[in-house]
Structure 1
Amino acid sequence: MTPTITKEQALCMIFYVEFNPTNMENLKDRIKNMTDIDICYETDSLHPFLLPLVKMYSEPYHYKKYTKTFETLEKIHHVDMQQKQEIHFSSDRQIVQFLNEVYLTTDLLNDRVYTKKLVSNKDILSHVWPYTTKFDDKLVLGFSKWCYSKNVAFTTVDYQCKAFENGQQQRELILILMFNNKIMKPTTFNS
């Protein structure tokens, strides 16, 4: 599954510039001045291009606009936990999409929203529990099997084993995590 990128990241890709706040603001202004052109993609959000709005609107199911911007991601990021508890996933598809958006396998170089972390399946499961009752009767192994059966993106990442003094081992993944440490506190991985 292709990761979702923001409109600002796509703009930097189109104009072959480094993704940083200065370039991001300059390019947002530049594209705003092009009143009849906008940035879009066809099937893969990692392949953006500029297209006249007339063409984009003539085939709205073929050309897709980038709907996520830093502002929307930051709003999602800063929603308090009480509001998050009100979110409830009712289908497998919603859970898979949530997992694929929060736990990326590809680094988008977006330090404002994503952070590289070392996490276990137990960490991931504890993060999903508040949003669904699907895993209330499952242990970590059952959750892991479900993720593999649904082809969740992080299941393609190789595990690392962490040994404890008592002889037990824990399998961990290096993933790109959306939320901050207030929501989930895995060990920070430094590469």
Structure 2
Amino acid sequence: MSSQYTRDQAICMAFYVVYTDENMKIYKKKIEELDSFEICWTEVDIQEKRQLIELVTEGQAKQFINEVFSPKEHENEELYSKQTVSTAYVYEIVKQHTVFFGSRTAQSFATWCRNKKVDFLTSKEKKGKKISRDLFILDERCYGKK
């Protein structure tokens, strides 16, 4: 079953907030205040499987990681779910979308993340058999190309 979103719901999704009448008023006004900003779609279908994106720069990779693996709770629970994951798990997802992490080890990826001050590292570590963190992870249907 496909889930179609209206333009108004897409506006709320763009700001990572729950769709409510109040949020619609607030964020519609914010969009109107932006110069030369336009919503480029009329419907959003996140149920559809997306084509993998391939990030080619370290800046793109950092932005991707910060959007997909967030230490902060997001209001839109349809897009983000709280999960406990290891840095190795983050690495496995990220290397599927980059051209330059494929040959690195999980340890060298962790060092790169530390050096680049990637946001998910600010989440408190949970010690155990493996070190893990509670993160809010973007649903995989939302990243990639149509």
State the SS of the aligned residue for 1:177.
strand
For structure 1, the residue ranges without an aligned partner over 5 or more in a row are 1-5, 12-18, 32-36, 41-49, 163-168, 182-191
1:125 aligned residue (72, 91, 97): 91
1:39 aligns with 2:30: yes
Offset, 1:8: 2.1
- Residue 80 of structure 1 corresponds to which residue in structure 2? 49
Alpha-carbon contact 2:12-2:18 (below 8 Å) kept: no
The residue matched to 1:80 in structure 2 has which SS? coil
1:27-106 equivalences in 2 (<5 Å) = 28=24, 38-40=29-31, 51=33, 56-57=34-35, 72=44, 75=45, 77-80=46-49, 83-84=51-52, 87-106=53-72
Contact 2:18/2:75 (8 A) holds in 1: no
Aligned partner (choices 67, 72, 80) of residue 114 of structure 1: 80
Gap runs ≥5 in structure 2: 1-9, 142-146
Larger radius of gyration: 1
- The runs of 4+ residues in structure 1 deviating greater than 6 Å are 66-69
CA contact (8 A) 1:120 1:172 kept: yes
Deviation, 1:78, is: 3.4
1:176 and 2:145 aligned: no
Partner of residue 100, structure 2: 134
Q: How much is the aligned-residue C-alpha RMSD, in angstroms?
A: 3.5
The percent identity for this pair of structures is 21
Per the TM alignment, residue 135 of structure 1 is displaced from its structure 2 partner at its CA by: 1.6
Alpha-carbon deviations, 1:11-58, whole Å to 9, x = none? 9xxxxxxx654x24x654x57xxxxx8314xxxxxxxxx74xxxx43x
From the superposition, tell whether residues 114 and 27 of structure 1 become closer, same or farther in structure 2 (CA, over 3 Å): closer
Supply the distance in 2 between the matched residues of 1:20 and 1:160 (Cα, whole angstroms).
29
CA distance in 1, matches of 2:62, 2:14: 24
Residues 154, 68 of structure 1: alpha-carbon distance in 2 compared, 3 angstrom cutoff: farther
Structure number with greater CO (CA < 8 Å, separation at least 6) is 2
State the AA in 2 paired with 1:89. Answer: L
TM-score between both structures, scaled by the size of structure 2 = 0.71
Tell me how many residue pairs correspond in the alignment: 131
Q: Determine the C-alpha separation between the residues in 1 that align with 2:119 and 2:40.
A: 20
